[in-house]
Amino acid sequence: MTRAALIRLTRLLDQERRALIAGDLSRLARLAPRKAMLIEHIESASPASVPPEAEALMQTVRSLAQRNGRLFDAALSGITDARALLTRAREDGRGRGQTYGRNGARAALEPQAGSLHRRA
């Protein structure tokens, strides 16, 4: 295992964190193969080849990976909650989803059948 691979992984984990915070799913998808390749490279090294000074760097990588794991969990939880909220809103009130607009008036989530819906 090289120290350089660990440094590249810490940088990638930081990029992943920024993408998670920004909700940039396409960036996360682009980072995933690079992350997998680096992890595979690091895991394939024999434990005897780990230099003593790399141990602190390995702990940093573990900490960053755990932090990103918590961010992934939070993002998934938020998506699940939003989906449940939309499902409840659609099912609420005579089969039509309703919510409230900016002016506080009740509004349908979906336009009524046969109505013309225009946006400026």
Domain ranges of the chain: 3-87
| 2: three-class secondary structure by DSSP | coil
And the tokens for 99? 């919510």
Spatial CB neighbours of 38, under 8 Å, sequence gap ≥ 6: 5, 8, 9, 12
CB 57 within 8 A of CB 7: yes
Measure the CA–CA gap between 9 and 35, rounded to whole angstroms: 7
Question: Tens digit of pLDDT per residue, the chain (120 long)?
Answer: 578 899 999 999 999 999 999 999 999 999 999 999 999 998 888 777 777 778 889 899 999 999 999 999 999 999 999 888 888 777 765 545 667 778 888 777 665 566 555 555
Q: Where are the alpha helices (DSSP H) in the chain?
A: 3-22, 25-44, 54-91
